[in-house]
């Protein structure tokens, strides 16, 4: 039995609440997020219990927030690999991010081939990887990836 509260809003009870429709705006959005802390001094490889972007998903955007400045090295590639560690796209999140862009309290808007485009992550679950060019002696960051799971 529905009723009207003191704000003048109708309150629906039990089965009166209705069913979600295909489309429109809902309180649960389509984007999911992964937040990963990275040690920039070592390459990130696939490991047990790593966060995963499900197969068939599309990456809407990605941001790298530097929490401790990178020191040394030349650049870092941010990419994806399958569960066995084979590259899906070794720089699909961002390619050759220069050490100069990795200053403390700065952010990098990632623009790799798999970010914000027409290509999804593919038929396999995707795991985040990094590959350093040169030797980094310091640096930490948080990588935030927003994706749509299909």
Instruction: Examine residue 61 and state whether it is found in any structural domain, yes or no.
Output: yes
47 is in which domain, residue-wise?
Answer: 32-148
Cα separation, 137 vs 139, whole angstroms: 7
Instruction: Examine residue 143 and state whether it is found in any structural domain, yes or no.
Output: yes
CATH number for 126: 2.60.120.1110
Q: What is the pLDDT of residue 133?
A: 97
Instruction: Examine residue 86 and state whether it is found in any structural domain, yes or no.
Output: yes
Instruction: Examine residue 104 and state whether it is found in any structural domain, yes or no.
Output: yes
Number of independent structural domains in the chain? 1
Q: Which residues of the chain have pLDDT under 70?
A: 1, 14-28
Q: Model's pTM, two decimal places?
A: 0.81
Q: What is the pLDDT of residue 63?
A: 98
Nearest to residue 148, comparing CAs of 78, 28, 63, 56?
56
Per the CB < 8 A criterion, the answer to whether 148 and 56 are in contact is no
Supply the DSSP symbol for 27: S
Instruction: Examine residue 139 and state whether it is found in any structural domain, yes or no.
Output: yes
| Tokens encoding 106 | 């700065």
Instruction: Examine residue 21 and state whether it is found in any structural domain, yes or no.
Output: no
């Amino acid at each position: 039995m529905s009723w009207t509260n003191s704000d003048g809003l109708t309150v629906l009870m039990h089965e009166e609440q209705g069913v979600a429709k295909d489309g429109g705006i809902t309180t649960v959005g389509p984007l999911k997020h992964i937040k990963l802390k990275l040690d920039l001094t070592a390459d990130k490889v696939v490991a047990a219990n790593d966060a995963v972007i499900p197969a068939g998903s599309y990456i809407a955007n990605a941001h790298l927030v530097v929490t401790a400045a990178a020191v040394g090295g030349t650049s870092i590639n941010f990419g994806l690999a399958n569960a066995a560690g084979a590259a899906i796209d070794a720089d699909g999140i961002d390619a050759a991010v220069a050490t100069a862009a990795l200053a403390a309290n700065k952010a990098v808007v990632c623009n790799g081939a798999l970010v914000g485009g027409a290509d999804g992550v593919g038929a396999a679950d995707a795991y985040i990887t990094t590959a350093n060019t040169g030797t980094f002696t310091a640096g930490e960051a948080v990588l935030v990836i927003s994706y749509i799971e299909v």
